[in-house]
Amino acid sequence: MKLKERIQSRPLLLDGAQGTFLQNCDITPEQWGDVEGCNEWLNLSAPDVIRGLHRAYFEAGSDAVETNTFGASPITLGEYNLSDRAYEINKAAAALAREVADEFSTDEQPRYIIGSIGPGTKLPSLGHITFDELLAAYKIQIQGLVDGGVDGLIIETCQDPLQIKAALSAADDILGPDSDIVRYVSVTIETTGTLLVGTSPAAAAAILAPYPIDVLGLNCATGPDAMKHHLDTFNELWPAQLACMPNAGMPEARADGSVHYPLQPEEFAEKVGALAREHGLSIVGGCCGTTPRHIAELRKQFSNDWNNEGVEAQPPSNGWKIREPAPAPQQAASLFSAVELTQEPAPLYIGERANATGSRKFRDTLLSNDYENAFHILTEQEETGAHVLDLSCGYAGRDERKDIEVLVPRMARECTAPMMIDSTSADVIEDALKCYGGRAMINSINFEDGGERAERVVPLAKRFGASLVGLTIDEKGMAMNADEKFAIAKQLVEFCVERGLRAEDLLIDPLTFTICSGDDTLRDAAFQTLEAIRRIKAELPGVRTMLGLSNISFGLKPALRKVLNAVFLHQAVEAGMDACIINVAAIVPLNEIPDELRKGAEALLANDTSNGDPLENYINLFENVVEESETSIEERPADEVLRDAIIRGKIPWLEPAVPDLLKEQAAEDILNNIMLPAMKEVGRLFNDGIMQLPFVLKSAEVMKRAVDMIKPFMTTTEADETVPLVVLATVAGDVHDIGKNLVGIILSNNGFDTVDIGIKVPIEQMMQAVKDHNAAALGMSGLLVKSTAVMAENMKVLEQAGFKTPVLLGGAALSEKFVHEACRPHYSGEVLYCKDAFAGLAALQTFKDTGRLPEYVEPTRDGLGCEVPDSGHEEEEQSEPIAQDVPVPDVELDTWITTDIDLDEIWKYLDLDGLIKGAWGYKKGGLSDEEYQKLLDEEVYPNLEKMQELAREIFEPKTVHGFFKCRSEGDHFYLTNPQTGEEIPTTFPRQNKAPHHCLADFFRPDGDVCALTAVTIGHKVMEKEQELRDADCYQDYLLFHGLAIMTAEALNEYMHKQVRLQWGSDEGDLPLREIWKQKLDQSRFGFGYAACPDLEMNKVVCDLLDTERINLRTTELFMCDPEVSTLALVTHHPQSYYFNL
């Protein structure tokens, strides 16, 4: 049985680490020669040692072994001056492995060898080595392995997709299209969640899917636990077999310099076996730190499904079956991330501005060799929403290959949007693809020359895994009507499919021509193009369509072009257009076009002459329309551009506005006369409900960048000028810092210095910081009620110490009344309540101007902070008496920890409305329904997807819950400690209005059972938040924090459901809204709120549940640490509900 057939029918067990084995062998100095450390040399100098290596793994139960050639590329061997012996070493290694495999092979259980091809030490995407150098080296290595008799090739420990492409191209050249030698690619995903060069697993799948790869797998870097999530991704995306070869756990460095791998053989085998069964893996084995003992234990995992002779057990006893391949991803990809070729909603937008023929501005930068600004023009399209970036450097008299050589490698390293390489030269296209690790798009081929150029370009698309655009042009010229367009489209598809491309790899551009020139032969051009799109979509399955859409309006003035393009875009999408090349920034939403203009455009596109000449009518419609300026950013006054950059959150607009301004104005004037007023306008827009909080933070990011740009140009006097410095801190015992952090962001980007000394800060540390920094003011923050009491006590300490520094107080539980009555009387210095960050800013601006804080600051519309709203329940009075004889559930009195919780399962309970409007601050305000929906579609939902992807690498959801004896007595509640039998009392307040309920009423006085729950998202959240703040990614910081808080709430909801199920609920799989509707959640109460205000009970809950086991504890103020955690008391009483006092 050939290896290719074998891996499709039942699991195959590969070997373990070779380096680990050889380190424990007795290898003499004579065998090493002068190349000690080059394990590959041992294939020639110590063949018996290598035979022993392979024999040990076959004896352990391996079905196949890898050759000892991980570093046997001529390039890697060159580090030992052995390049010229690469073919000899690889062939010898394969022959040795073949010899031992044949010793163990039987007709019932053949044994196989797989040629190992390592990544080398040079990454082409980072410019260490060229594609052609890698290709030549891999061809020598692969030829040696094939001649030595391998059954398969494994390109392993891959860290760069461009390196994989070089190895696969070499395999194609040596093996040809019909070889039965298996091609196995194994990537290494670091603890960061990406390949070393930053490629996400999803992007890797998109890049590699077009290649004839039999197996895609993971190896090295991590142990089996960390590979599960990435295998989940591949399981959804990969169209062939999957494999996994983890390390024996995460490596641990020891004091003596050695590295220890912690997973013992039994535990390693259990974990890898579980991964194999869950994901239907075809190949499993071990990487660093694994030994024949690890493989022997892993063999036992196999024996439950396949007997030792390799005959299938009937049926497999534990469900280990090879998975069904997933549908191939149909995506383009940068080096970092993938983009669906079929967008929902359509179309795929391809930015057109980096085109030397179509854009004068881009052409001029190339002609002046100004590559920095050329690259800026290219990349700023990402900011305006382009999914793919078209790059066309061809221009008469210009060295196109030189421009590509400069721009494409940088594009590969820095752009998150995929590349469309646009050229009429096959050589230029090939040069670009050799520099690009992502899955590119090629623009384009046609039959203008009878197919000669297409014969060169199509193989390039196949070799580099690119998608390809075909234009409906033949030797007669451009197709003008629908029939001609379709006929050429069909020929293009057949031509490409015959040469190995898939229909899904192709985009047909049926071409569109201007209907605005007055040429009667083109008046129906729009109709012909739309009809061609419909036919292509209907009759050529899998093929996509694309247009250079703005050609339709060529010849009109800009205002007329925008409207006509927008209406044609809508019609083309309805006809089935999948993609368009367009200046995304110039797209006008259809709903913003007046009906009269829209109807005029529709008549022109349809060549509707019922009311006369539609072109003349359309032009006349604009006689009274004020034409918007088409002035580019660079042509506008620099002060206006800088102001708008800050207000609109446009980082790319800072260049060249700031450098131009610095030529004319002092840095201090730019700051005071342009930048600070712009941030003041941001505050006004927020206060008036026009700007949402995330956009405020984006403006702050731009402000920070602008300040960094002008700071080197400030004179010593300007740079050292004293500005008010504010010390910020969250009070002792409180771990919540989002409000404080937002204050710091807003203040620091409005001309104030801030020193943030963190969370849980004692008043003594605050006073010391004020002294050390000679602070002008002290800002204290806190979230819950207990923190307000701490603030009041802090006022007394400040007074006793003789402080006079002005103090600003803020926090969710704080009020103007509390500050006036409980704080100001105890401190003779100035004390001001600030509802939000902009209130603090206004106060300090007054202080800067007058030397005193104002007595009162009007709060902004909703406050500025990360709100966690309630679930939207309306309190309903319960008129029926509360039953005292509800049966006690028959449950085991114990505790349980849950750690492996799928985030997608948790997010089923995510309060999306609360996240968006409350935690993130995307409130409708004065927006219309249509405007708000546009905001959701274009800004909010993409941000949610982005944050959830980030969260998968950071969030560590863990829970512990348990059931405990309890009872009530009047307003008192008694919880029994199962270890000591002691009753722990607390008192719940009773309503002072009808129906006078108390939480204790929902527990039986003669003995009952309650549940306690504790959930956390983990400590990494705060580390990531700090990282985002340090990088000045203020908007991402807010969004990430909001998602973390709301995910903790969702996890709380998820855990509550598990409790209800253990209590015997038959509720089924209800969505969150239905849970709320049935009030199933209203039996869960958190301490610190009105019905159960005693925060000290949080410490009791943590002690009884032993939450240290999930790294959760309470602060001295009895708040959860980490912040993204929640504790709850749960009653089973069916009448329980949320009520206010």
pTM recorded for the entire structure:
0.60
Contacts of 394 (CB under 8 A, 6+ apart): 356, 357, 400, 422, 423, 424, 425, 428
In this prediction, residues 676-699 reach a mean pLDDT of 73
Q: Output the pLDDT for position 874.
A: 42
Averaged pLDDT for residues 44-72: 97
Q: Is 394 annotated as a binding residue?
A: no
The answer to whether 733 is a known ligand-binding residue is: yes
Q: Is 288 annotated as a binding residue?
A: yes
pLDDT, average across residues 8-19: 92
- Any known ligand binding at 781? yes
Give the containing element (helix H, strand E) for 616. Answer: helix 614-621
Q: Are strands 467-471 and 1113-1114 parallel, antiparallel or unpaired?
A: unpaired
Instruction: Find the range with the poorest average confidence among 174-178, 566-570, 712-716.
Output: 712-716
| Residue 560 near residue 619 (C-beta atoms within 8 A) | yes
C-alpha dist (Å) from residue 379 to 353, 354, 382: 10, 9, 6
Residue 1034, marked binder: no
**What digits encode the pLDDT tens for the residues 93-149?**
999 999 999 999 998 889 999 999 999 889 999 888 999 999 999 999 999 999 999
Does pLDDT of 863 surpass 50?
A: no
Cα separation of 664 and 657, whole Å? 11
In this structure, which amino acid lies at residue 469?
Answer: V
pLDDT at 625: 63
pLDDT average, residue stretch 930-942 = 83
Answer yes or no: is 998 a known binding residue: no
208-221 pLDDT tens trace: 999 999 999 999 98
For residue 7, give both structure tokens: 């891996």
Predicted confidence band at 531 (pLDDT cuts at 50, 70, 90)?
very high
Averaged pLDDT, 873-880: 50
The H-assigned helical ranges of 334-370 are 360-367
Q: What percent of the chain has pLDDT over 90?
A: 57
Which comes out higher in pLDDT, residue 719 or 1002? 1002
Angle between helix 676-687 and helix 693-710 axes, rounded to 10 deg: 180
Please say if the pLDDT value at position 155 is more than 90.
yes
What is the per-residue pLDDT across 398-444, written as a single tens digit (0 to 9) for each?
Answer: 899 999 999 999 999 888 899 999 999 999 999 999 999 999 999 99
Query: Is residue 656 over pLDDT 90?
Result: no
pLDDT value of residue 864: 40
pLDDT at 857: 61
How far is the C-alpha of 871 from the C-alpha of 747, rounded, in Å? 32
Phi, psi of 390 (to 5 degrees): -85, 135
Cβ atoms within 10 Å of 737's Cβ, excluding its own:
26
Q: Is 260 annotated as a binding residue?
A: no
Label residue 1049 by pLDDT band (50, 70, 90): very high
- What is the mean pLDDT of the segment spanning 694-716? 79
- What was the pLDDT predicted at 1095? 83
Q: Is the pLDDT of residue 308 over 50?
A: no
In tens, the pLDDT along 604-620 reads 999 999 999 999 999 99
- What pLDDT, on a 0 to 100 scale, did the predictor assign at position 312? 39
What is the pLDDT of the chain when averaged over all its residues?
A: 88
Q: Is the pLDDT of residue 252 over 80?
A: no
466: its two tokens: 């690119």
Residue 933's SS3 state is helix
Out of 546-550, 741-745, 1056-1060, least confident range: 741-745
Q: How confident is the model at residue 359 (pLDDT cuts 50, 70, 90)?
A: confident
Question: How would DSSP label each residue in 433-494?
Answer: HHT--SB-EEEEE-STTTTHHHHHHHHHHHHTT-EEEEESEETTEE--SHHHHHHHHHHHHH
The angle formed by the CA atoms of residues 1037, 1043 and 1044, to the nearest 5 degrees, is 90
Name the band, by pLDDT with cuts 50, 70 and 90, for residue 316.
very low
Confidence of residue 372 (pLDDT cuts 50, 70, 90): confident
Residue 319 pLDDT > 60: no
Least confident stretch, 298-307, 370-379, 441-450, 816-825: 298-307
1139 is in an annotated binding site: yes
Residue 734 annotated as binding site: yes
* For range 228-236, the mean pLDDT: 92
**The pLDDT value given to residue 1073:** 79
Burial class (CB in 10 A: 0-12, 13-18, 19+), 154: buried
pLDDT digits (tens, 9 = 90+) for 1104-1129: 999 999 999 988 778 888 889 999 99
102 is in an annotated binding site: no
What mean pLDDT comes out for the span 489-493? 97
For 259, other C-beta atoms within 10 Å of its C-beta total: 11
- pLDDT at res. 241: 95
Q: How many CB atoms lie within 10 A of CB 1126?
A: 22
Q: What is the mean pLDDT of residues 495-508?
A: 97
pLDDT band at 340 (very low <50, low <70, confident <90, very high): very high
Q: Domains of the chain, with CATH numbers?
A: 6-303 (3.20.20.330), 331-615 (3.20.20.20), 633-716 (1.10.1240.10), 724-850 (3.40.50.280), 895-1130 (3.40.109.40)
The mean per-residue pLDDT over the stretch 830-843 comes to: 82
For residue 253, what pLDDT is reported?
58
Query: Is residue 294 part of an annotated ligand binding site?
Result: no
d(CA 587, CA 590): 9
d(CA 605, CA 179): 53
Confidence of residue 987 (pLDDT cuts 50, 70, 90): very high
